[in-house]
Amino acid sequence: MAGALKEKQLAQNVYAALQAASCPMVDGLYLQEADSMLQLLCAPSQHRTDILAWICSSINPNFATSKAMSVRSEYPDVLTKEMALLGQELMLCKAGDLDLIRGDASPHRQLQFLEQLLSLLSGSQKSAGHRMDEEMLLNELYAAESLPHLTQMLKPTFDPWPAHIKALRKGTKSSCKPSRGEDADVAALLQLAESALKQLQSECEFLNNEQQSPGVFSPSSLRVAAGDLQQLMATFSHVYETDLRAYCSRDSPSFSTETDVFHRVHQLLLACNTELEMLNEVSEASVSMNEEVNGIQTQPRYWRRGEKHTMPDQLEELSRRSREFLSLSHS
């Protein structure tokens, strides 16, 4: 029972958000009951598909090209797959969640998906009467009367009194009718401020040197940049809420102060490495000595009677001569 009430509340919230976003698919549908809203938003129908397609095209303007819409009208499955791919790019669903796009998933899941899409569309949920979304802000920013001020912000100058401020000041001055002494004080103060600003402007070299190739101001570029920034902020907010918040709220790890254990282990490992290196050197020295001894015994290196002989041959010859000498001495 609680689940059904929650689904009805979600349906009312999504329907109100569609009205606040001026969705043409709900314009003229004066639904009052939550069951009717639930039927409209969660039951598979062409009207529901049109609502979802309108949301996708509002989030991504490239989604609503005329060529693409003509192809989708002939092949409805193409539209379903493309909306699923857009949901995957926004990290709201998977590319294989076609049942969610068609309306075959659970109502609670569908309503959550629509609510997340609408949050990306509007940036923040406001009432229909006080809606101030990105499009309205940019339209006001790019109005004809605002463009000179926007250009002045991009290339600021030290002019503290724009034309409309001067006119307002003159009107205020004429209505207040200040005395001559006050008028002289204000004029002197303005003159002093203007002199200080001119001196400051002369000291700021970067305001006097124009770039050789200044960039052309493009309102459409700023519009695209603002849309991309909103997309990135929404994506990061989703990743933070789903993956990063749990890690950011953890306490910092505590490290043990007993460092003598690690010092002793390091010394033991260092002694072990030194002993292994010594054993390796002893083994290499033994092999080298063995090769040298074998060479002495097998290779002819000692001269006798104009020829080289091996060490055993030399020892045998010396022994023979010694025996002969001893035998002669005894005789």
More confident residue, 2 or 262: 262
- For the ranges 54-68, 261-275, 307-321, the one whose mean pLDDT is highest: 261-275
Q: State which amino acid sits at residue 22.
A: S
Please check whether residues 163 and 191 belong to one and the same domain. Answer: yes
Q: Report residue 268's pLDDT band, with 50, 70 and 90 as the boundaries.
A: very high
Tell me: the pLDDT tens digits for 94-107?
A: 888 899 998 888 98
Q: What is the pLDDT of residue 213?
A: 46
Q: What is the average pLDDT value for the chain, to the nearest integer?
A: 77
Flag whether 228 is in a domain: no
Residue 227 lies in a domain: no
Examine the domain organization and report whether 124 and 179 are in the same domain. Answer: no
Same domain, 178 and 85: no
Task: Show the tokens assigned to 71.
Answer: 């192809």
Is 303 found in the same domain as 286? Answer: no
Residue 251, sorted as left (phi over 0), alpha (psi -120 to 50) or beta, turns out to be beta
pLDDT of 71: 55
> Are 104 and 60 within one domain?
yes
Residues 279 and 314 in one domain: no
pTM higher than 0.85 for the full model? no
Residues paired with residue 307 on neighbouring β-strands, in sequence order: 304
Task: Give domain status of residue 211, yes or no.
Answer: no
- CB-CB neighbours of 220 under 10 Å: 9
Do 275 and 331 lie in a common domain? Answer: no
Q: What is the C-alpha to C-alpha distance for residues 199 and 167, in angstroms, rounded to an integer?
A: 26
Flag whether 136 is in a domain.
no
Q: Is 281 among the domain residues?
A: yes
pLDDT at 164: 58
For residue 327, is it within any domain?
yes
Torsion of CA 11, 15, 20, 23, to 10 degrees: 140
Domain membership of residue 120 (yes or no) is yes
Pair (116, 178) in one structural domain:
no
Residue 11 falls inside a structural domain: yes
DSSP state of 204: -
Q: According to the model, what pLDDT value does residue 181 have? A: 66
Band of the pLDDT at 60, cuts 50, 70, 90?
A: confident
At 212, is the pLDDT very low, low, confident or very high (cuts 50, 70, 90)? Answer: very low
How many percent of the chain have pLDDT more than 90? Answer: 6
User: Which distant-in-sequence residues (6+ apart) come within 8 Å of 318 by Cβ?
Assistant: none
For position 294, what pLDDT does the model report? 83
Tell me if 95 sits within 8 A of 85, measured CB to CB. yes
In the chain, how many domains are there? 4
Provide φ and ψ at 27, rounded to 5°: -70, 120
The tokens of 152 are what? Answer: 């002045």
- For 108-165, write each residue's pLDDT tens digit: 999 999 998 888 875 434 443 344 455 566 667 677 777 777 676 666 665 555 565 5
For 301-325, the pLDDT digits (tens) are 777 777 887 888 888 888 888 888 8
Q: State which residues form the domain around 285.
A: 269-295
- Give me the pLDDT at residue 281, please: 92
